[in-house]
Amino acid sequence: MIAFIRQHPVALAVAVAIHVAFFAILVLSFRYSRPTTAEAPPVEVVQAVAVDEAKVKRELERIKAAERRREEKLKAMAAARKREEKRLAELRRKREAERRRQAELERKRRAEKKRLAELRRKQAEEKKRLAKLEAEKKALAEKRRREQERLARLERERREAERRRREEAARARAEAELKKKLEAEQQRLAALQAQQRRSEIDRYQQLIYAEVYRNWTVPPGARRGMSAELRVRLIPSGDVVTVDIARSSGDAVFDRSAMQAVRKASPLPVPPVESGLFEEFRQINLVLRKKET
Amino acid sequence: MTRHLHIWMLAALLAWPLSGRATLTIEIEKGEADAIPIAIVPFGWQGPRAAPLDVAAVVRADLARSGRFAPVPVADLVARPTTAAQVRYADWRVLKVNNLVVGRMVETERNRFRIDFQLLDVVNGQQIAGYSIRAGVRDLRRAAHQISDLVFEALTGIPGAFDTRIAYVTVTADRRGRKTYRLAISDVDGYNEQVLLTSPDPILSPAWAPDGERIAYVSVTPRGPVIHVQNVYNRRARKLRRFPGLNNAPAFSPDGRTLAVTLSKDGSADIYLYDLKTDRVTRITRSPAIDVEAAWLPDGSGLVFTSDRGGTPQLYRIALRDGRPAGRPQRLTFSGKYNARASVSPDGRRVAFVHDHRIALLDLETLAIEVLTETRLDESPSFAPNGDMVIYATRDGNTGVLAAISVEGRAPQTLSVTRGEIREPAWSPLRRRNF
């Protein structure tokens, strides 16, 4: 800015002058624009001149008469003036009334105008309000529409999510199901293996049972319920390595018959070493009991 | 068998996961006793002549007859050892025998013999027993029966009853139909028969005294039945006091001093006790029905007898105290139309009797009846003194035979066959060993 001023000093001066001029005009116009008051009405001036006696009497008469006439005239004039004044006053009064009426009218007009303006303003406002209302309504409708749309979208989304969730759940369920099935299958397999193992052991136990049973001659003199427990060591061929009395029946004949049964049943049927089950049979206990009944 | 196994197995399986590596235990429960496979090797012989007796054959036959043993036929023997030292156990294991008897006999002086034998456990490879028995030539069979007894007891836990005798009655008729009755005794295998009495009069109801020396029997004379007691060694007989009517079915009391007899002197047949010292009788039963055939409980605490007081012949028991009845008779049998001829087992727990013409056992505790025989004309059961067998009379076609059956009902063995009839066997008490 300062750089600009420095370059154009004349422009600056002109600008300042123009500003000053405008300012002056603004002040003067403000002064002359004051309203002027109304001028007073013009007043009538009367001039009197004296004449001889007879003449003046006549003349007086005549003056008297003239006087009277003049007085009358004055009177008439006064009356006229009075009337005039009265008329003027009336006029003034009327004019004043008129002016007041006019002022009132003006006031009324202005009030009307103001009212109208107000009305218009109100109408405008109303219109505006209505417009605004309409706009609001529209906005509301729009909003509602949008809301509905949003809701619809949300609903759609929700449905979608729900569907996805369901799908996901179904998938998860299916997976869990599969996993469960797999686990169950594994468990079943493990159980099967354990069961197979047990049933193998069971089978060999039964085989040993049968073999010893077959080879056992129960001493007829043994008491019912008499029993002996033997500790038997086996080698993988099933051959009985040692037989010891773990618990004697208390009867030598019975104990001997039990030992004989085991020895005689040798080799006992045992699972092959490869099965991993032989270890269960490396050392076994056999209880031989004479039946109670 | 398997049921028990299964139960046990189940328990074992249940315990399995918990027990970890606990030792497997297998329980074997068996009731019936199988015949024991045994080999009796012919005994060695040292003497100037042929051996007077095949001792091993007698033992083999005894053991086979008992139903408790299954001796290997001689032809199947894999070797002929006569001493334990000569035995190769493996050879005998092949034969699947549990036991082996080896022995040898030497004539130590003329008609005097010594028998040495060993009973071996083939399976466990060890000797169970070894004995040396001396015998004269007439006692060789008895010595053999004694060996059987020793083997039997060592392997079954039950005393053997091979060295015992039976008394019985035979009846023969000549061409004209005249009958001859004989009272005889023999070894249980039918050998060594000795006739104690021959009579045209019927002989009934021989009964052994507990000392094994006397036999009571009934001789039905034209004047009526008379009870005799005869010594089996010196053959001297004593005629007991005769009462009007029946004088039947004598039975020695366990102490041998009293006979339970059937008399009808007071009207109907009733059981009485006959005091052998005083010849006085005490009435035991008092019923208008027929009460006969008393048998003693082994402790002398009572009698088992037959009575038709219930309409049909049934067994009853009556308690005794101080030689007098204690309480009322108690009925023991409730099934069958004919239950009679009681013989009480030596342990007093069972009664062998005729049950609708078959031999049956009655459990005195449970009163359960177990029929042993399948033939239809079985009579006169008599318990072996070891309680393991019952001897009885039956018929094989027209021939009367004695048969024995183990108390477990194993196939009955015919013991003795005669022309004509053989009746009323009575098994002697156990004899004292004479070595």
Could you read off the pLDDT of B91-134 as tens digits, one per residue?
998 888 889 999 999 999 999 999 999 999 998 899 999 999 99
Q: Answer yes or no: is pLDDT of A1 > 80.
A: no
A44: its two tokens: 């009538």
Most confident by average pLDDT, A43-57, A156-170, A227-241: A227-241
* Chain B residues close to A259, C-beta within 8 Å: 123-124
CB contact under 8 A, B28 and A213: yes
Residues of A in contact with B123 (CB under 8 A): 259-260, 263-264
Whole-angstrom distance, CA of residue B369 vs CA of residue B204: 27
B328-372 residue pLDDT tens: 999 999 999 999 999 999 999 999 999 998 999 999 999 999 999
From A180's Cα to the closest Cα of chain B, the distance in A is 24
Q: Which of B276, B6, B112, B76 is nearest to A209 (CA)?
A: B6
Q: Identify the residue among A198, A203, A206, A209 best suited for mutation to test binding to B, counting B beta carbons within 10 A and taking the highest.
A: A209
Looking at the structure, tell me whether residues B152 and B115 fall in a common domain.
Answer: yes
* Both tokens assigned to A288: 């031989």
The answer to whether B366 faces chain A, any CB pair under 8 Å, is no
Q: Does B5 touch chain A (CB under 8 A)?
A: yes
Where a domain ends, among B156, B181, B209? B156
Say yes or no: B4 and B143 in one domain. no
B157 closest CB neighbour out of A205, A253, A284: A253
Question: If contacts are CB pairs under 8 Å, which of residues 206-265 in chain B contact chain A?
Answer: none
ipTM beyond cut 0.85: no
Question: Domain A216-289, what architecture?
Answer: 2-Layer Sandwich (3.30)
The answer to whether residues B130 and B194 belong to one domain is no
b/e code A232-247 from CB counts within 10 Å (16+ = b): bebeeebebeebeeee
Please judge whether B24 and A288 are an interchain contact, meaning their C-beta atoms are less than 8 angstroms apart: no
Query: Do B215 and B261 sit in the same domain of this protein?
Result: yes
Q: Averaged over B177-185, what is the pLDDT?
A: 92
* Contact residues of A toward B, CB < 8 A: 198, 201-202, 205-206, 208-209, 212-213, 216-222, 224, 229, 231, 251, 253-254, 256-257, 259-261, 263-264, 279-281, 283-291, 293
Minimal CA separation from A177 to chain B, in Å: 29
pLDDT of the residue at B3: 47
Residue of A196, A201, A204, A205 to mutate for B, most B C-beta atoms under 10 A: A205
Out of A198, A286, A293, closest to residue B31 by CB: A293
Q: Which residue of B has its CA nearest to A251?
A: B157
pLDDT mean over A276-287? 91
Count of structural domains, chain B: 3
Residue B433 located in a structural domain: no
Contacts of A290 in chain B (CB under 8 A): 29-31
pLDDT band at B32 (very low <50, low <70, confident <90, very high): confident
Average pLDDT over residues B52-77: 92
Using a pLDDT cut of 90, give the percent of chain A over it: 22
Q: How far apart are CA B13 and CA B1, in angstroms?
A: 18
CA distances from A225 to A175, A220, A251, B28 (A): 59, 12, 12, 11
Token output for B129: 């027993």
Domain ranges of chain A: 216-289
Q: Say how many CB pairs under 8 Å bridge A and B.
A: 115
Least confident stretch, A67-81, B280-294, B365-379: A67-81
**A217 contacts on B by Cβ (under 8 Å):** 33-37, 98
Give dist(CA B365, CA B356) in Å, integer.
21
Q: What is the mean pLDDT of residues A205-231?
A: 91
* Listed residues B112, B138, B156: the one ending a domain: B156
The DSSP secondary-structure symbol of B147 reads H
Give percent of chain B above pLDDT 90. Answer: 71
Verify cis geometry, omega within 30 degrees of 0, for the bond prior to B210: no
The residue in chain B having the minimum alpha-carbon distance to the alpha carbon of residue A230 is B25
A219/B156 CB distance under 8 A: yes
- Based on the domain organization, do B179 and B127 belong to the same domain? no
Q: B211 and B102 in one domain?
A: no
Q: Mean pLDDT, to the nearest integer, of B218-247?
A: 94
B344 and B292 housed in the same domain? yes
Query: Of B128, B156, B184, which closes a domain?
Result: B156
Q: How far apart are CA B1 and CA B31, in angstroms?
A: 9
The angle subtended at Cα A88 by Cα A83 and Cα A94, nearest 5°, is 125
Q: Are residues B402 and B320 located together in one domain of the fold?
A: yes
Range of the domain at B199: 165-427
Q: Are residues B148 and B194 in the same domain?
A: no
- Express as a percent the part of chain B with pLDDT over 70: 93
**Rg of chain A (C-alpha set):** 74
Cβ contact, residue pair A260, B123, below 8 Å: yes
- Dist CA A151 CA A171 (whole Å): 28
Measured between CA atoms, the residue of chain A closest to residue B35 is A217
Could you report the per-residue pLDDT of A37-65, keeping only the tens digit for each? Answer: 555 555 656 565 655 556 666 667 777 77
Residue with structure tokens 């949300």? Answer: A154
Other beta carbons within 10 Å of B107: 17
| Co-location of B45 and B23 in the same domain | no
Check: CB of residue B198 under 8 Å from CB of residue B192: no
Residue-level pLDDT at B72: 94
Whether B18 shows a pLDDT value over 60: the answer reads: no
Residues B216 and B182 in one domain: yes
Q: What is the mean pLDDT of chain A?
A: 82
Both B305 and B360 in one domain: the answer is yes
